[in-house]
Structure 1
Amino acid sequence: MTTRTADSPPVSRDIEAFYAANVRALTLQLWAYTGDLASAQDLVQEAFCRALPRWERIRRYDDPAAWVRRVAWNLATSRWRRARAAAEFLRRQRAEHVEGPTPDRVVLAAALAALPEQQRAAVVLHHLADLSVRDIAAQLGAAEGTVRVWLHRGRTALAAQLADEPEGHRG
């Protein structure tokens, strides 16, 4: 339902007309400010959304578009500040440069990937996570004897795959 005030069209048509008359110019202004059209469109839409519940008051301003522009501009500035703060936080949190995997690790990862899922899980949990057979059985929901079989078969398959690798890739 639309409400009528003295000397004005229904509110829904009033704000629709205001939107239609101002969205393009405001988007272009924010695009120039942000340098990103999609961001400008989002910011202007958010500003109009914020204007909607306040429209009865805003429509009486000398320049309601100035209110929407100010809100969009403030949203852009806040977004920029948050992005800058996040980038600064990440910059401070960066650890020293970590080298990529060695050729041996690449070969091992490929060999592990070739194992059936249960064997791979058992081998990784036992040898990399240092879990006991009992802990692996609990995590994987299997009997301890089954985990021992998976470990044996996984180690045997890994040994065969790694033995097939050329000498230059093993350390």
Structure 2
Amino acid sequence: LMDERLQNASINGNVAGLAELMKEEEGRALLGQVTPGLCNTCLHICASYGHTHFAAEVLRLRPKLASVRNKQTETPLHIACREGKAQTARLLLESNPSLACSALVAAGDEKGANAMMLAARHGHVEVLKLLLSDRWLPLFRVEGSLVPSLLEAASRGHS
């Protein structure tokens, strides 16, 4: 189970609190802890709140957390896109381009939605603009997932 102090720091985006935890003997080991139920890491949690500075510090300390999937098979990127946290999504994309490719193109959550589909489904225009930028758009064209994502957005009235 996740240490309550880490969970609270993640929820609040408390970078100073994270730094204090990292000073403890088992500090880095705390970063591998997950919440009960969904098995979210601290990176999943801060991504859902859009705490980009906190996410950047977590990624500096443990970059591999970007690829960890929770029980719903979501990475932190999927959560950031679903919640409309464009700056955090950008950080996660840039932190690991190979992860970006798999999370953007491949099915992500337990219902088969990739990060772009999640952003479209929830009408997060800024996230869609990010994902459709020149840097990331080729990933969608390669696998043919652009059209389903755009159809998802249009079917929900997000045009």
TM-score class, shorter: under 0.3
The structure richer in helix per residue is: 1
Tell which structure's C-alpha radius of gyration is larger: 1
Higher RCO (Cα < 8 Å, 6 or more apart)? 2
TM-score, normalisation: structure 1: 0.19
